[in-house]
Amino acid sequence: DAKTTQPTSMDCAEGRAANLPCNHSTISGNEYVYWYRQIHSQGPQYIIHGLKNNETNEMASLIITEDRKSSTLILPHATLRDTTVYYCIVRGTSGTYKYIFGTGTRLKVLA
Partner 1 sequence: GAVVSQHPSRVICKSGTSVKIECRSLDFQATTMFWYRQFPKKSLMLMATSNEGSKATYEQGVEKDKFLINHASLTLSTLTVTSAHPEDSSFYICSAGRESEDTQYFGPGTRLTVL
- Which of 12, 18, 44, 60 binds partner 1 (CB under 8 A)? It is 44
Choice between 36 and 75, CB closer to partner 1: 36
The answer to whether 50 and 63 are in contact (CB under 8 A) is no
Backbone CA torsion sign across 45, 46, 47, 51 = positive
Residue 104 interacting with partner 1 (CB under 8 A): yes
Residues that contact partner 1, how many (by CB under 8 A) = 22
User: Min. distance of Cβ 16 from partner 1 in angstroms?
Assistant: 26
**Could you say which DSSP state residue 82 is in?**
G
Judged by DSSP in three states, 80 sits in helix
- How far is Cα 111 from Cα 105, in angstroms, rounded to an integer? 19
- Within 10-39, the residues that bind partner 1 by CB under 8 A are 32, 34, 36, 38
Is 17 or 101 the residue whose CB approaches partner 1 more closely?
Answer: 101
